[in-house]
């Protein structure tokens, strides 16, 4: 194998490793951010919503929490999908 071909393959490998590291670190930070939001929303439900509900209303507060999380997940996913489509369209032009 020629030295030039080896160098190109080595560079491709290096690029793939960096891409994988970016993906892993982005996923890790995404998880940390999700956990932070999880704590925030749980506290929000506990401190501001639960006091308006009857005693022992754990299931209702969990339902409210699940609805809030689902709403946020849908909104963020839609916005990111629109952004990705917009960027892809721009790169094709």
pTM: 0.55
What would the pLDDT profile of 23-65 be if each residue is shown by its tens digit?
899 899 889 988 998 899 888 888 887 777 777 677 777 788 8
pLDDT digits (tens, 9 = 90+) for 63-92: 888 888 888 888 988 998 898 888 888 878
Instruction: Return the pLDDT at 89.
Output: 86
Q: Distance of CA 2 to CAs 7, 15, 43, 63, 75, Å?
A: 9, 20, 62, 63, 52
Question: What are the residue ranges spanned by the domains of the chain?
Answer: 3-92
Six token digits for residue 31 = 């998880």
Predicted confidence (pLDDT) per residue in 11-23, tens digit: 888 888 888 998 8
What CA–CA distance (Å, rounded) separates 38 from 69? 8
What pLDDT, on the 0 to 100 scale, is given for residue 1? Answer: 58
64 touches 45 (CB < 8 A): yes
């Amino acid at each position: 194998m020629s030295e030039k071909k080896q160098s190109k393959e080595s560079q491709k490998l290096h690029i793939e490793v960096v891409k994988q590291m970016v993906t892993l670190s982005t996923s890790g930070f995404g998880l940390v951010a999700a956990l932070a939001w999880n704590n925030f929303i749980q506290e929000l439900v506990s401190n501001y919503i639960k006091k308006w509900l009857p005693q022992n209303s754990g299931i209702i507060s969990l339902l409210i929490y699940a609805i809030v999380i689902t709403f946020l997940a849908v909104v963020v996913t839609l916005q990111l999908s629109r952004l990705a489509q917009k960027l892809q369209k721009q790169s094709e032009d």
